[in-house]
Amino acid sequence: MKLSEMNVNQRKVWEAMDAATREYIGGNENGVSDYEIGSPEYNSCKRFLDQTHDELKEFFYLEVITDVQKEARFCGKEFVMERIEIRLNKWGY
C-alpha cells in the first residue's frame, strides 16, 4: 500500500513507525560508527541492533501503539505489523 492510498489513521501509524525506526535504528547505527568499539555506548547500540528480527518487530510494535494508540486500534495489529515488517526488511533487519 502506498502512502497516498492510506487513510488518516493509517498515515498516522505509518508516520509513528517511520519516526521510531529512524530514531532507534538510525540512532543506534550512528552510535556504532561514532563510538569506540568496546565502549559502553557502542555496546549498548550494538546490543540493540543485534536483536532478532522478531524482537525488533515487537519492540517497534509497542513503540507505535504507545505513540498512536487510537489510530493503531482503528488500523488493526495486522496493518501495523505489516508496515514494520516492510521497513525492517528494507533496512536489512
For the record, the C-alpha cell of 71 comes out as 489510530
How many other C-beta atoms can be found within 10 angstroms of the C-beta atom of residue 62? 11
Number of domains comprising the chain: 1
pLDDT reported for residue 54: 97
**pLDDT per residue over 5-58, tens digit each?**
999 999 999 999 999 999 999 999 999 999 999 999 999 999 999 999 999 999
Q: Domain of residue 41: give its range.
A: 6-90
Residue 1 lies inside a defined structural domain of this protein: no
Residue keyed to cell 492510498: 5
**How far is 25 from 44, CA to CA, in rounded Å?**
12
Answer yes or no: is 19 within a domain: yes
Mean predicted confidence (pLDDT) in 49-77: 96
Residue 1 has pLDDT above 90, yes or no: no
pTM: 0.91
22, 46 contact by CB (below 8 A): no
- What is the average pLDDT across 54-76? 96
Is 45 part of a structural domain of the chain? yes
For residue 60, being part of any structural domain is answered with: yes
d(CA 19, CA 47): 20
